């Protein structure tokens, strides 16, 4: 944070690279939670290291459990030492007078009013207006209570007559459990905040390679002309985890793979992959196009045979050579659970660009490896040349955008094998972030917290976008609820999922890429 010593670092003199950002007070609701320690505090610290925080920045942790200011300050230090991508510099993170803790109920208007008085005291001490950022990192059951209390206490309307100083609310996922709950939460938010003040966060959008997707598409003339149904055979989006549910079994069982990953992360990846070129890089122009493509997805066929949706859960198996239990043996899982740990969808987009091109999405736990990627597979050339005999190993061209863990882009082309005989084989043209730019790239939360402070909503989700996504997903959830465990497949931990998911692609003469290979 800020100290009186201005010689060691330009940030200490208040010379932020974003000089237009006013003094900021950030309140983190759920300040003692795991996300705050693992992601939020390290992100704020790294912004300070990079001289990207406003000149006067104050952090307030809010939670239901009592905690002394000094204990909260030590919590931030411990979080940085354990989870930051760069080591702690005590000269930068001097927080005695700029980090506080406030305890109270999440729906207590009286507690929020007392919090507001504390914030006003900070503002008065600075002698300048401050912008307020409320980061909601709590269980979703109290989202509405917090929003209501922010409005009733007056904090939601702080400096409302000063457009550049509007208070902002950052809301973590999950944003609703279905279409109805998402619509209700949007109504609650709209009662206290304008859409301009709301930042619905999906940390996947803060990842460098997700942002690079737009650059690859729209800044390279070799890609955009063939990014359509004339040249693209199909698209695969994979978000896979090798971990199981661990100690989060009780929470996960209330969610499942469809809610936990497909509805948000993978749908965002699909929207960025399939959207039309925006008229500008203005946040609303980009978000307009994402909403359009989500609305163009045709309703899914939910029939068990030749349907567009597969669900499954993992059984016992091997991960990295070690035996792991099945989902039903994990701690906190009810005996009658029908929750899926794997979901795969086949989608079709009814617009001019993508008519007839299948988009396959899959996400699951206890899969063969941790990997997130987008594969755009192009159509094969006409079988006239290089198509006869065993000499010609010709694969379809593809573009693989690796989101994690090995961030980069791979393009698969066909090449001649050196020698007197004409033989071919597929080869990879590979670009890796680590080898080109170094490995210490900013974390997603650094970008997203910074964007919320400067008022850039490009990488955040708009209210109508959440509803468009839930409008597609909710019928699946209702269908599965009615079916109970009928149609719930099994797969071995350490595999790539159920055979039924492979079969869904075989129906169109496609097969899943061996992700991460």
| pLDDT tens for each residue of 79-136 | 999 999 999 998 888 876 789 999 999 999 999 999 999 999 999 998 888 999 999 9
Assess if residue 458 is contained within a domain: no
Q: What is the pLDDT of residue 313?
A: 96
Q: Is residue 1 part of a domain?
A: no
Determine the pLDDT at residue 7. 34
Q: Are strands 424-432 and 408-416 parallel, antiparallel or unpaired?
A: antiparallel
Cβ(308)–Cβ(347) under 8 Å? Answer: yes
Predicted local confidence at residue 172, as pLDDT: 92
Q: What is the pLDDT of residue 388?
A: 61
CA 494 to chain centre: 24
Does residue 370 share a domain with residue 280?
yes
The verdict on 209 and 350 lying in the same domain is yes
241 in the same domain as 143: no
167 and 248 fall within a common domain: no
Reading the block at residue 259, the tokens are 């809610």
Number of domains in the chain: 2
> Taking Cα atoms as reference points, which of 232, 223, 227 lies closest to residue 379?
232
CATH number at residue 25: 3.40.50.720
Tell me how far apart the alpha carbons of residues 131 and 513 are, in angstroms, rounded to a whole number.
47
Residue 284 lies in a domain: yes
Q: What are phi and psi of 168, to 5 degrees?
A: -130, 150
Q: Are residues 28 and 130 in the same domain?
A: yes
Of 100, 119, 190, 105, the C-alpha closest to 158 is 119
Q: Is the same domain home to 362 and 234?
A: yes
pLDDT tens column, 346-378: 999 999 999 999 999 999 999 999 999 999 999
* Residues 171/148, Cβ–Cβ less than 8 Å: no
**In terms of Cα–Cα distance, which of 202, 203, 223 is closest to 401?**
223
Q: Are 308 and 346 in contact (CB under 8 A)?
A: yes
Q: What is the CATH number of the domain that holds 242?
A: 3.30.360.10
Which of 118, 149, 172 lies at the terminal end of a domain, its last residue?
172
Q: What are phi and psi of 440, to 5 degrees?
A: -95, 55
* 163 and 217 housed in the same domain: no
User: Per the domain annotation, does 417 fall within a domain?
Assistant: no
pLDDT of 187: 97
- Domain coverage including residue 236: 205-383+463-506
Domain boundary among 117, 152, 172: 172
Residue 303 inside a domain? The answer is yes
Task: Tell me which of 157, 265, 479, 508 is the catalytic residue.
Answer: 265
Inside any domain, residue 228? yes
- Cα 485 to Cα 471: distance, rounded to the nearest angstrom: 23
- Rounded to the nearest angstrom, the gap between the alpha carbon of residue 4 and the centroid of all alpha carbons in its chain is 37
- Whether the model pTM is above 0.75: yes
Among residues 148, 172, 196, which one ends one of the domains? 172
Say yes or no: 107 and 217 in one domain: no
Domain shared by 306 and 234, yes or no: yes
Which positions of the chain have pLDDT values less than 70? 1-20, 96, 162-164, 383-393, 439, 516-517
Query: Do 165 and 269 have their domain in common?
Result: no
Q: What is the H or E stretch that residue 348 is in?
A: strand 342-348
Residue 265 is a catalytic residue: yes
- For residues 224 and 89, membership in a common domain is answered with no
Q: Are residues 167 and 214 in the same domain?
A: no
In a domain, 156, yes or no: yes
Q: Is residue 415 part of a domain?
A: no
Question: Is the bond leading into 274 cis (omega within 30 degrees of zero)?
Answer: no
CA 438 vs CA 25, 45, 433, 442: distances in Å: 33, 20, 7, 11
């Amino acid at each position: 944070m800020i100290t009186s010593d201005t010689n060691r670092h330009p940030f200490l003199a208040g010379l932020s690279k974003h000089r237009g950002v006013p003094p900021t007070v950030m309140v983190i609701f759920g300040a003692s939670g795991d996300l705050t320690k693992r992601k939020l505090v390290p992100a704020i610290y790294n912004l300070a290291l990079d001289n990207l925080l406003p000149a006067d920045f104050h952090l307030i942790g809010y939670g239901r459990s009592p905690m002394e200011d000094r204990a909260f300050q030590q919590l931030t230090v411990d979080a940085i030492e354990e989870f930051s991508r760069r080591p702690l510099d005590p000269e930068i993170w001097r927080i005695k007078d700029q980090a506080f803790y406030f305890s109270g109920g999440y729906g207590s208007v009286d507690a929020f009013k007392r919090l507001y008085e504390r914030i006003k005291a900070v503002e008065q001490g600075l002698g300048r207006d401050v912008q307020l950022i409320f980061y909601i990192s709590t269980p979703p059951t109290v989202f509405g209570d917090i929003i209501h209390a922010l409005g009733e206490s007056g904090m939601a309307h702080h400096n409302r007559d000063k457009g550049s100083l509007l208070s902002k609310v950052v809301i973590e996922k999950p944003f609703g459990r279905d279409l109805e709950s998402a619509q209700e939460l949007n109504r609650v938010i709209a009662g206290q905040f304008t859409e301009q003040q709301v930042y619905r966060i999906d940390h996947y959008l803060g990842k460098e390679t997700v942002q690079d997707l737009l650059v690859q598409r729209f800044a390279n003339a070799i890609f955009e002309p063939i990014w359509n149904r004339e040249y693209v055979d199909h698209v695969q989006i994979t978000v896979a985890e090798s971990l199981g549910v661990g100690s989060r079994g009780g929470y996960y069982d209330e969610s499942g793979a469809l809610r936990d990953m497909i509805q948000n992360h993978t749908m965002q990846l699909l929207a960025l992959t399939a959207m039309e070129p925006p008229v500008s890089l203005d946040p609303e122009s980009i978000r307009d196009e994402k909403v359009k493509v989500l609305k163009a997805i045709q309703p899914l066929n939910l029939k068990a045979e030749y349907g567009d949706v597969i669900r499954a859960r993992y059984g016992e198996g091997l991960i990295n050579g070690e035996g792991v239990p099945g989902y039903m043996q994990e701690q906190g899982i009810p005996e009658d659970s029908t929750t899926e740990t794997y979901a795969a969808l086949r989608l079709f987009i009814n617009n001019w660009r993508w008519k007839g091109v299948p988009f396959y999405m899959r996400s699951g736990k206890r899969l063969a490896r941790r990997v997130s990627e987008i594969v755009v597979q192009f159509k094969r050339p006409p079988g006239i040349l290089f198509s006869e005999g065993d000499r010609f190993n010709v694969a379809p061209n593809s573009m693989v955008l690796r989101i994690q863990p090995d961030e980069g882009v791979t393009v698969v082309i066909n090449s001649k094998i050196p020698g007197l005989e004409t033989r071919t084989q597929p080869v990879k043209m590979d670009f890796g972030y680590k080898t080109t730019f170094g490995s210490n790239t900013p974390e997603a939360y650094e970008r997203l917290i910074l964007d919320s402070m400067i008022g850039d909503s490009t990488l955040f989700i708009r209210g109508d976008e959440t509803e468009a996504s839930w409008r597609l997903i909710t019928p699946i959830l209702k269908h599965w609820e009615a079916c109970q465990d009928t149609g719930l497949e099994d797969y071995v931990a350490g595999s790539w999922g159920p055979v039924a998911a492979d079969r869904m692609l075989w129906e169109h003469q496609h097969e899943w890429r061996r992700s991460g290979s």
